[in-house]
Chains A and B, each alone.
Chain A
């Protein structure tokens, strides 16, 4: 029987070689996910190392700018390494340690997850290999060097389109050959069971904190949640806690890139042309051509240009739990600049997609309403690219 389904999505579409290690991982996760000692250790690293809880910040000037609902930002950008990715990397490395693995591997697109994995590997004295498309390595030189500084080996992937999807396939191939001593830290809520569940659980701390913090800020009033979606880990972490709160309208923002044509965007759920398929072990929505070949998608944000999406998002999409929408490159860059100027916060280009949705949402909101945007990461890594887009030389 198929395991790890979200409605009809999910599953374990992997080579037989990988099945024993997925079973081992599932057993370990089941054993430790409610284990007080495991949770206490994770909590300790969240608090003392990563910097949790992150602030829920009332963006007063941005609120005034729009003149509608009160806007709060969930500041995952303030975490160590600069993005929410560390929540998951810490959870998985603690699990890997308990499973007796001494090597971790990861795939990375923009490099944020690679940096998070290299960071926890350094912290726990594990060997670390990060698979990264050769094209992405060229685009993200700074993060490549950060990973090297942290002691990780960055393995260039030159197969296929030399981007994130190919790096993921290569990580799976390497894992298949080294299952004995290696744990694969998948960076998003994608992949075969138990990954989508496990990554969601480690990221759900975002939503749980929002629930607590909003009580203090507004007495619990919350009307809208917005988060960006590539594979969808910060979004699932934001939404999961509120999945049954029908009064909270949830928006998952995908990258609409430079237009609606095939290959010009990274929209899997908000694009009427995309349909379900299987990539990297899970049945979910997938950007593919008419022959079922996975297409190379595009976004200005390297963290959002993945052709698949987590299977739980596919279910939320079909059940209407979350509304998935698209924001294009220009809208994201405008929002990036707006937050810099209004609030003195430089957001990641990924997160800027979530912020940009405020332009569309805010005119329809009332002053007594409350919106929370998850700011999944900080934008230091993006300033060079943004400068280029704006025609500035730095």
Chain B
């Protein structure tokens, strides 16, 4: 069992919804990222998505684009992200997934990356520009090292593709709530809920809903059918503005709202 699977099992036994928090590595700086992870975990984050900055993040909205750009300017690299994971492991066993674009990983070398990531204490990857069809090589090296490679479904994913994704789904399934990019906005979660119902019939792999979530109300709304919710831009914006206390409070409020709703 991996840290991630243990966490989802624990949540399920406790009848709790999971909370996945995205943070861009290197924002506000390397040490600040460690502080942000600590804050997120202390306030109830179950899983951390650690953003690996890329110059051209095409699935991301303005907040994460800007965070990514700034992190690169400050010298954040994939190698340094792995160093951060090592540091986090000194104080937390929270499951951590590296979230980044394929070119940076390709440049590092898939085989070497999987080995180094495992050694550093990372639990897997989320790669938004790698759909199911292109995931073969990364999937293989992750499997060899016992790392998860998260796959995606969206409101527009066809039934056939959902079935294909469910067959190989690993860790959790990233359910994109809406057509578009990351960023806080009002979203109708019913289309993705339909997709989740469909997914649930085919796999036990947990479903986490992301994109658009920025408040406790939105989180509760998004969590109806899913096992977890993912929040990124809303937290990253606050961390970027050095408002770590506010970020902690937002995460805590969401944790509270999710727990209250279920119990």
**Interface of A toward B, CB cutoff 8 Å:** 1-3, 11-17, 19-21, 23, 159-160, 165-166, 169, 172-173, 176-180, 276-281, 286, 288, 290-295
The reply to whether B56 and A173 form a contact with Cβ atoms under 8 Å apart is no
Q: Does B161 contact A (CB under 8 A)?
A: yes
Residue of A at shortest CB range from B53?
A293
Q: A177 contacts which chain B residues (CB < 8 A)?
A: 178-181
Determine how close the nearest CB of chain A comes to the CB of B127; give it in whole angstroms.
Answer: 9
Residue B204 interfacial (CB < 8 Å)? no
Tell me, in angstroms, the Cα distance from A169 to B104 when the chains sit together. 16
Which residues of the other chain, B, contact A11 by a CB distance below 8 angstroms?
133-134
Give, as a whole number of angstroms, the nearest-CB distance from B188 to chain A: 14
Please provide the chain B residues from 172 to 230 with a CB less than 8 Å away from any CB of chain A in the complex: 176, 178-181
Closest chain A CB from B239 CB (angstroms): 19
Complex Cα gap A291–B104 (Å):
7
Q: How far is the CA of A295 from the CA of B62 in the complex (A)?
A: 20
Interface size for chain B: under 10, 10 to 19, 20 to 34, or 35 or more residues?
Answer: 35 or more
Could you tell me the distance between the alpha carbons of A23 and B78 in the complex, rounded to whole angstroms?
32
Known: A12-B134, A16-B131, A177-B181. A277 touches B62 (CB 8 A): no
Say whether B131 contacts A159, CB under 8 Å: no
Instruction: Choose the segment among B8-16, B90-98, B151-159, B241-249 that binds chain A (4+ C-beta atoms closer than 8 Å).
Output: B151-159
The complex places the Cα of A20 from the Cα of B159 at a distance, in Å, of 11
Nearest Cβ on chain A to B159's Cβ, whole angstroms: 11
B69 at the interface (CB under 8 A from A): yes
Tell me whether A286 and B180 are in contact (CB under 8 A): no
User: Are A13 and B55 in contact, with the CB atoms below 8 A?
Assistant: no
Listed from nearest, the 9 A-B pairs whose CB atoms lie closest are A292-B107, A177-B180, A16-B152, A292-B104, A293-B55, A15-B59, A20-B156, A291-B77, A278-B103
Bound-complex Cα distance A294 to B158 (A): 32
The distance in angstroms between the C-alpha atoms of A14 and B58, with both chains bound, is: 8
B180 proximity list for chain A (CB < 8 A) = 17, 173, 176-177
CA A276 to CA B106, docked complex, whole Å: 9
Min CB–CB distance A184 → chain B (angstroms)? 12
CB neighbours of B105 from chain A (8 A): 292
Some 14 contacts from A to B, beta carbons below 8 A apart, are A2-B134, A16-B152, A17-B156, A17-B180, A19-B157, A159-B65, A160-B55, A169-B58, A179-B179, A278-B101, A288-B107, A292-B54, A294-B56, A295-B55
**B66, B105, B130: which has the most chain A beta carbons within 10 Å?**
B130
B61 within 8 A of A: yes
**Which residue in chain A gives the minimum CB-CB distance to B137?**
A2
Q: Which residues of B contact A173 (CB under 8 A)?
A: 58-59, 61, 180-181
Contact of B179 among A176, A276, A293 (CB under 8 A): A176
Shortest distance between the CB of B201 and any CB in chain A (Å)? 19
The answer to whether B78 touches A292 (Cβ under 8 A) is yes
| Closest beta carbon of chain A to B86's beta carbon, Å | 18
Whether A19 lies near B161 (C-beta < 8 A) is yes
